[in-house]
Structure 1
Amino acid sequence: MMRLPFAIVALIVALVVEPAHAHKPSDSYLTLKVDGATVDGQWDIALRDLDFALGLDANQDGAITWGELRAKHADIAAYALSRLTLGPHNAPCPATVTGHLIDKHSDGAYEVLRFTAQCAAAPKVLAVDYRLFAEIDPQHRGLLNLHAQGNTRAAILGSDAPVQRFTLGEQSNWKQFVDYANEGIWHIWTGYDHILFLLSLLLPAVLVRATVPGEPWEPSPSFRAAFVDVLKVVTAFTLAHSITLSLAALSVVSLPSRLVESCIAASVVLAALNNVRPVVYRGRWAMAFFFGLIHGFGFASALADLGLPQESLLLALVAFNVGVEVGQLAIVAAFLPMAYRLRTTWFYRRGVLVPGSVCIALVAGIWLVERAFNLRLLPG
């Protein structure tokens, strides 16, 4: 009987001890343009990832200067291109570096590696073998934009499927839908601030306002009541973030990334503190809706980082949102039955709800300070 409480505690602890800057996973952005037998490429790779792999910061002062980066250009090119193969393995298209630049993305500075690959003949099917950082970060992904014969498609490359083949001139909407749905699932599962916000709303879902003085919560009378409460919260959050995700992805509304990420952290703090000193009981769905509007801008930032072509935007928007909902429902399905079973115990109300919410609020408070003032308080 006592294994289940520790499972909930372990879930909370596993989340709150993650690095404070773990909101955005390690990504690179690879653009390929196929013209006959020539493939022109641009590869944006995060400096923080390259520094971890190659040690760009020579003097270890925490800042990578242009001089330090330029001194490592040859190493960067050799490292990256040795982990990317275009064309069949028996006749790969050799790549030559044509330039090094630097660019800013929403999560920091990136090395921009430009190259040209020359194939023996114009490929009808382009194989892409992507293994960047595979030996040090299996969760790293390459976000691919492929332009060929008037068509543009996107794909997600990573260690789970390092080799992918693309029939040039042919575009599968279903394949793109699946790719972006997977991206939505991945984003919610690795977006620790989104998970902690959801957990803050779920923790009291199996409880109701207490009728006994001095006790803020008491067990929910039935699973149906708890389920309805969760349904209201999740529906409100889904509707809200779908609205702002769509508006931002379609460039109707745009907010600064720093402001959005800071507000997301603040939403986690407030939702968690409401469990400790309840102000909102039955109206938590309204809180989920209000803060969901803010989280939608965060989802849109992740989608925009894919560099989507305009003709694929609507498809990607729908698929990404579906993926977010699938990932969110998976968390609910894993958490709710366990929490309902424990709702009558003192341990849940005093040992899980309150300490767990305090831990969530503390970590989110650190995120808030870091994001608002552009500081680094915890290793990331």
Structure 2
Amino acid sequence: MIRWFAALLLLASSAAWSHQSSEAYLSYRVTGADVEQRLDIALRDLDRDLALDADGDGRLSWGEVRTRWPDIERLAADGVRFTAGGAACAPKGSATPQLEEHSDGMHAVLVTQWHCPADVQELQITYRLFAATDAGHRGLARLVGAAGQPLVLVPGAAAQRLGVDSRGFAGFVIEGMAHIAGGLDHVLFLVTLLLVAVWHRHGRGWAPRASARSAFAETLRLVTAFTVAHSITLGLAASGVIDPPAAAVESLIALTVLLAALDNLRPFVPGPRWAMVGLFGLVHGVGFAGPLKDLGLRGAELVLPLLGFNLGVELGQLAVVALLLPLALALRDREVYRRWIVPGGSSAVAALALVWCVERSLAVQLLP
């Protein structure tokens, strides 16, 4: 049973790799009737669709990317189109090909210039990038210097408006929920905590809690500690106040999952568990900030996206709690839960987290 559960987790990790959600970044700078569009597309997404890795060595060189730049431009032109006030704009030219590092990896940067028939008050964006190859892909768009909030663009959806009256709050709520759903390490961290939230420490092990009320209270403490902690660092990282290396953050997140799983098997973390969860939540909050940080928002323009994204993260967490906690409560006294589910599940999570630690700290790939 343990081997079977571990195999399922390893399989799931390849389909829902933590913090590898597919996101492209769009920014528009409007000056009268002129529009500058900047589109940042992840190289891993381009490689999937265009097979950029010509020599098949698993690494993309600048030469491989530069040689296929016309194909990249065509893919971008087909995937992202806009009008201004319903009227098409004429291209004026494009900038020199370039690359830029984002929190989720290296991106190709495509900058194009456009002239519209009249002064631009609003843009209508039709987004189809990777619609046929990645259902989870999203575009994050903003208008530079405008009071409107950024938009989350879903491939294949109806055209969305970007202007001074744009509001992307609901889109960022959805994006926060999607970030939890696609972040396997965050989900497994919560699952690991909930497995023993229905137990209490007893000597050097665990014992079932006497009442459901006690289990609910413990769950509330854990979720609250995690929420408060990650909300603090999410805000600090998204606003640029703190900016630790992404590789270090990802490695630490994997380590928090590993330690929580090992603590399930044999409690060793001192003090109340909510304190450990709060400390680990500070690390997870920095990991949550990637999509917002890469938009480059500052000050007041960050407030609504930050609130919406954080609300989406919390709703995603509550969905995990709502699904798992009732089952854990019903099984907490059962032999199968004590001897198989908690030890087996925690062992599988620990094994997967250990692989993540090695991969992220040494920049190697062990899983397919």
Identify whether the pair has TM-score above 0.5, normalized to the shorter chain.
Answer: yes
User: How far apart are residue 345 of structure 1 and its match?
Assistant: 1.8
Give the distance between the partners of 2:201 and 2:310, measured in 1 at CA. Answer: 33
Deviations 1:148-198 (A, max 9, x none): 7x43531110137352123x3334xxx333232222222222111111111
User: How far apart are residue 116 of structure 1 and its match?
Assistant: 2.0
User: Which sections of structure 1, spanning at least 5 residues, go unmatched?
Assistant: none
One-letter amino acid of the counterpart of residue 201, structure 1: L
User: How far apart are residue 52 of structure 1 and its match?
Assistant: 0.6
Give the distance between the partners of 1:113 and 1:27, measured in 2 at CA. Answer: 15
- Aligned length, in residue pairs: 365
Aligned pair partner of 1:119 in 116, 127, 131: 116
1:1-380 to 2 correspondences below 5 Å: 13=8, 17-19=12-14, 21-87=17-83, 91-95=87-91, 97-99=93-95, 100-147=97-144, 150-159=146-155, 161-166=157-162, 168-171=163-166, 175-210=167-202, 216-280=205-269, 283-379=272-368
Give the distance between the partners of 1:216 and 1:261, measured in 2 at CA. Answer: 30
Name the CA shift for 1:11/1:145 in 2 (closer, same or farther; >3 Å). Answer: farther
Give the distance between the partners of 1:247 and 1:85, measured in 2 at CA. Answer: 33
The answer to whether the 8 A contact 1:188-1:328 is kept is yes
Give the distance between the partners of 1:377 and 1:142, measured in 2 at CA. Answer: 29
The answer to whether the 8 A contact 2:150-2:305 is kept is no
Report the 3-state secondary structure (helix = DSSP H, G, I; strand = E; otherwise coil) of the residue aligned with 1:205. coil
Report the 3-state secondary structure (helix = DSSP H, G, I; strand = E; otherwise coil) of the residue aligned with 2:59. coil
The answer to whether the 8 A contact 1:208-1:281 is kept is no
User: How far apart are residue 243 of structure 1 and its match?
Assistant: 2.2
User: How far apart are residue 96 of structure 1 and its match?
Assistant: 5.7
One-letter amino acid of the counterpart of residue 303, structure 1: L
> Which deviates more from structure 2 when the two are superposed, residues 11-20 or residues 360-369?
11-20
Report the 3-state secondary structure (helix = DSSP H, G, I; strand = E; otherwise coil) of the residue aligned with 2:94. strand
Report the 3-state secondary structure (helix = DSSP H, G, I; strand = E; otherwise coil) of the residue aligned with 2:365. coil
The answer to whether the 8 A contact 2:19-2:182 is kept is yes
- What is the TM-score of this pair, normalised by structure 1? 0.87
Give the distance between the partners of 2:90 and 2:188, measured in 1 at CA. Answer: 46
Report the 3-state secondary structure (helix = DSSP H, G, I; strand = E; otherwise coil) of the residue aligned with 2:144. strand
One-letter amino acid of the counterpart of residue 242, structure 2: V
The answer to whether the 8 A contact 1:16-1:363 is kept is no
Give the distance between the partners of 1:135 and 1:343, measured in 2 at CA. Answer: 44
User: How far apart are residue 288 of structure 1 and its match?
Assistant: 0.6
Give the distance between the partners of 1:143 and 1:11, measured in 2 at CA. Answer: 35
Name the CA shift for 1:267/1:22 in 2 (closer, same or farther; >3 Å). Answer: closer
One-letter amino acid of the counterpart of residue 67, structure 2: A
User: How far apart are residue 258 of structure 1 and its match?
Assistant: 1.7
Alpha-carbon RMSD across the aligned residues, in angstroms, is 2.7
Name the CA shift for 1:289/1:280 in 2 (closer, same or farther; >3 Å). Answer: same
User: Which sections of structure 2, spanning at least 5 residues, go unmatched?
Assistant: none
User: How far apart are residue 16 of structure 1 and its match?
Assistant: 6.3
Report the 3-state secondary structure (helix = DSSP H, G, I; strand = E; otherwise coil) of the residue aligned with 1:115. strand
Name the CA shift for 1:367/1:14 in 2 (closer, same or farther; >3 Å). Answer: closer
User: How far apart are residue 144 of structure 1 and its match?
Assistant: 0.5
Give the distance between the partners of 1:134 and 1:372, measured in 2 at CA. Answer: 33
Aligned residues: percent identity? 44
Report the 3-state secondary structure (helix = DSSP H, G, I; strand = E; otherwise coil) of the residue aligned with 2:88. coil
- What is the TM-score of this pair, normalised by structure 2? 0.90
One-letter amino acid of the counterpart of residue 74, structure 1: P
Deviations 1:196-231 (A, max 9, x none): 1111111011123358xxx93333211111101101
The answer to whether the 8 A contact 1:152-1:309 is kept is no
